[in-house]
């Protein structure tokens, strides 16, 4: 299961799923000679399902210390850099680090590692944190002045129709510079996990995915 998160997972006009991570996952599943379905849903529901149902896979899941023991990690898909963005016309928003950002209202997608990171840094929903169901809502809230900053992937901004022309990157959350993974519930059949990991090793030796050739953490 996954969510819509361009350019890693996206849909074209006929709703066909594609993207950097999708292409790698399909290669892994085909190399493992496994039949599968990819269900697209809001990230919070995908995360909850993969956390509770064995033999369920999820992508693209950021590998963090907090999540380390909660999933079986199958394959690194793409690197991700996450930054705080504001509107290009918001010259009043100035922050050099996470501490100076605490005075602003920050928007984040529900269920993401970004959310937990903000909570750990002192952000709270009752004061300076707004949680939404999907990333595209953050830009709308920024335009309406309901938030001052949003914490999102740099590549997500780059693939927007205007390539982020109306946004300004304020600073990067270096603590979140990690790989997105294909992962599974930890109680998933060990033979299935081994089969998938071997499939990843096979396709990796044939050719590294394009997104892994662009850059890797730390950026």
| CATH code of the domain containing 161 | 3.40.190.10
Quick one: 150 and 86 in the same domain? Answer: yes
Task: Quote the CA–CA distance of 110 and 186 in Å, as a whole number.
Answer: 22
* pLDDT for 215: 63
Question: Strands, DSSP E only, in 88-162?
Answer: 106-109, 129-132, 149-153
Beta partners for 130?
A: 107
Quick one: 109 and 137 in the same domain? Answer: yes
* pLDDT for 6: 86
Q: Could you tell me which residue, 6 or 40, shows the higher pLDDT?
A: 40
pLDDT of residue 85 exceeding 90:
yes
Pick the closest to residue 82 from 211, 183, 169 (CA basis): 169
Beta partners for 85?
A: 150, 169
- The CA radius of gyration of the chain, in Å to the nearest whole number, is 18
* pLDDT for 180: 94
Q: Which residue has the tokens 């909850």?
A: 48
Task: Quote the CA–CA distance of 7 and 22 in Å, as a whole number.
Answer: 10
Quick one: 131 and 87 in the same domain? Answer: yes
* pLDDT for 12: 86
Q: Is residue 48 part of a domain?
A: yes
Quick one: 124 and 71 in the same domain? Answer: no
The mean pLDDT value of the chain amounts to 92
- End-to-end CA distance of the chain, in Å? 28
* pLDDT for 149: 98
* pLDDT for 216: 62
Quick one: 183 and 169 in the same domain? Answer: no
Q: Is residue 119 part of a domain?
A: yes
Give the range of the structural domain holding residue 43, as residue numbers without chain letter: 10-80+178-214
Quick one: 31 and 98 in the same domain? Answer: no
If residue 178 lies in a helix (H) or strand (E), which one and from where to where?
strand 178-184
Beta partners for 10?
A: 18
- Number of domains within the chain: 2
Q: Is residue 219 part of a domain?
A: no
Q: Is residue 2 part of a domain?
A: no
pTM: 0.79
Arithmetic mean of pLDDT, 11-20: 89
* pLDDT for 166: 93
In the chain, the percentage of residues whose pLDDT exceeds 70 is: 97
Q: Is residue 149 part of a domain?
A: yes
Compute the 3-state secondary structure of the chain and give helix, strand, coil in percent, each to the nearest 5: 35, 25, 40
* pLDDT for 212: 81
């Amino acid at each position: 299961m996954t969510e819509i998160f361009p350019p890693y997972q996206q849909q074209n006009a006929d709703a066909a799923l594609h993207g950097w991570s999708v292409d790698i996952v399909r290669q892994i599943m085909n190399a493992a000679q496994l039949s599968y379905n990819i269900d697209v849903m809001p990230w919070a529901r995908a995360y909850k399902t993969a956390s509770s149902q064995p033999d369920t896979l999820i992508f693209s899941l950021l590998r963090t210390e907090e999540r380390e023991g909660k999933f079986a990690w199958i394959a690194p898909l793409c690197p991700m850099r996450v930054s705080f963005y504001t509107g290009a016309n918001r010259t009043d928003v100035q922050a050099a680090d996470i501490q100076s950002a605490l005075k602003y209202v920050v928007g984040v997608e529900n269920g993401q590692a970004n959310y937990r990171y903000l909570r750990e840094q002192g952000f709270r929903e009752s004061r300076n944190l707004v949680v939404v169901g999907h990333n595209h809502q953050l830009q709308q809230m920024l335009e309406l002045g309901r938030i001052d900053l949003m914490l999102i992937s740099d590549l997500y901004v780059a693939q927007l129709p205007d390539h982020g022309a109306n946004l300004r990157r304020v600073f990067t959350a270096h603590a979140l510079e990690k790989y997105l993974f294909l992962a599974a519930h930890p109680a998933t059949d060990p033979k299935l996990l081994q089969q998938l990991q071997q499939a990843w090793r096979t396709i990796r030796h044939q050719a590294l995915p394009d997104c892994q050739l662009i850059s890797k953490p730390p950026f």
